[in-house]
Amino acid sequence: MLRALKEDLLHDVKSKELRVIVISAEGPVFCSGHDLKELSTQDDVKHHTEVFEVCAEVMTLIQRLPVPVIAKVNGLATAAGCQLVASCDIAVASEKSRFATPGVNIGLFCSTPAVALGRSLPRKVALEMLFTGEPLSAHEALMHGLVSKVVPEDKLEEETMRISRKICESSKSVLALGKATFYRQMAQDLDTAYKITSQVMVDNLTLRDGQEGIEAFIQKRKPVWSHAQDKKK
């Protein structure tokens, strides 16, 4: 499943037509994480290492993709499933959705989900989830920043598509630059972050779409995006 998800995420990633990715599921569970049978002692350490390495690759890939990735959650997201939600750029959840890291209850602490969780939630909220395994409701997840929006189940598709369409109105190259810079500066101290982003603002102005957007605003017209990374001559 992880390999298939990685393949799907990378499919046509360089195409100008690809503007946003939505990860969703069918049934009452968004994602329940790893198959515990696959983590039994019947498999060797090499296999276990491969499982977690591939999982980490998928989670980090999401933030390195040049387009926004939205989790559309309609149900339970536990362990690596909760990690998946936390790793996405945006998460829209139905009111019935719940989020948990219950590994501690079966003797396998959710250490890898804790990486994404600790970067999305306040430390004490994340640690309570990790130490107790108790789930957050959709509204608790919204309050603490794990998800972006909570809507009634019958409005989930509509709201996810509304956000997706709004993203599609912007330049892909500008969004790609902005997303990469956001995650890059988050890992820096304040002074370094401002130094990095100040230079990126300058670089953004040299893009063809950077200049097109400004010219369109001044001329009071809709911009015509090229979605290209090339600079204005």
Give 75-122 pLDDT, tens digit per residue.
Answer: 999 999 999 999 999 999 999 999 999 999 999 999 999 999 999 999
pLDDT surpassing 70 at residue 22: yes
Q: Nearest to residue 195, comparing CAs of 181, 175, 176, 212?
A: 181
- pTM confidence score: 0.93
Helix (H) or strand (E) holding 226: none
- The residue type found at 89 is D
Q: Which phi and psi angles does 5 have, rounded to 5°?
A: -65, -40
- As assigned by CATH, the class of the 2-168 domain is alpha beta
Task: Please list the residue range(s) of the chain that carry CATH number 1.10.12.
Answer: 172-218
CATH of 172-218, one of 1.10.150, 2.60.40, 1.20.1440, 1.10.12: 1.10.12
Q: What is the mean pLDDT of the chain?
A: 94
Number of neighbouring beta carbons within 10 Å of residue 88: 24
What was the pLDDT predicted at 45?
A: 82
Task: Please list the residue range(s) of the chain that carry CATH number 3.90.226.10.
Answer: 2-168
Could you tell me how many helices (H) and strands (E) the chain has, helices first? 10, 8
pLDDT digits (tens, 9 = 90+) for 27-58: 999 999 988 777 776 668 888 888 899 999 99
Q: Give per-residue burial for 205-232: e unless 16+ CB within 10 Å, then b.
A: eebbbbbbbeeeeeeeeebebbbeeeee
pLDDT digits (tens, 9 = 90+) for 141-164: 999 999 999 999 999 999 999 999
pLDDT digits (tens, 9 = 90+) for 209-232: 999 999 999 999 999 999 988 776
